[in-house]
Amino acid sequence: MTLGHRIVVMKDGEVQQVDTPLRLYDFPANRFVAGFIGSPSMNFIKASVEVQGEKVYLSAPGFRIRTNPILAQSLRPYAGKEVWMGLRPEHLGLKGFTVIPEEENAIRGEVEVVEPLGAETELHVSVDGTVLVAKVDGHAPVKPGDRVELLADTGRLHAFDPETEKAIGHSQEPAAVAR
């Protein structure tokens, strides 16, 4: 990612997306590209789409997140269905130790692993059997077994169709996507 101006992401000999490094990161065309770009890779969790008037939520045991307006509009056709929700570890913050505001975006779980890295700590948090990785403030006093609330940056939330695994609801279309 640091050497190229444009990158081709391939899977099994097929082009998945051709784009700049930042656009691959921000607007992955599908679940494969989303998981391929970034370290640690994007978290994925199955979530149900709930529509309540103007509000659209992604929910599963342990969380109910109100989606941003752009994603909400694109998720409306999925009402009552499951999708893959995607969140990068750096777009999750530990409640009380993050600048991410609390706005119907809490994910509750139990800490399984704590990896202190200095300025940040990687937490592996079990959310009803699915482990999410979060990069949080390195000074947060957390230990395995703690029950925590992670706050999701809903502006950076991703969703993927459960069958095609294509991205749902980008505010911009990826520049080049294999059809």
Q: Where are the domains of the chain?
A: 1-38, 39-169
Beta partners for 58?
49, 65
Q: Domain 39-169 in CATH: superfamily? A: Nucleic acid-binding proteins (2.40.50.140)
Angle at the Cα of 160 (from 154 to 164), degrees rounded to 5? 175
Q: Is the pLDDT of residue 174 over 80?
A: no
Convert 8-40 into a string of H (helix), E (strand) and C (coil): EEEECCEEEEEECHHHHHHCCCEHHHHHHCCCC
25-63 CB burial, b ≥16 within 10 A, e <16? bbbbbbbbbbbbbeeeebbbbebbbbeeeeebbbebebb
Q: What is the pTM of this model?
A: 0.89
pLDDT tens-digit readout, 63-111: 999 999 999 999 999 999 999 999 999 999 999 999 999 999 999 999 9
Q: Around Cβ 161, how many Cβ atoms within 10 Å?
A: 15
Query: If you write DSSP's letter for every residue of 123-146 in order, what string do you get?
Result: EEEEETTEEEEEEEETT----TT-
Tokens 């000999």: give the residue: 13
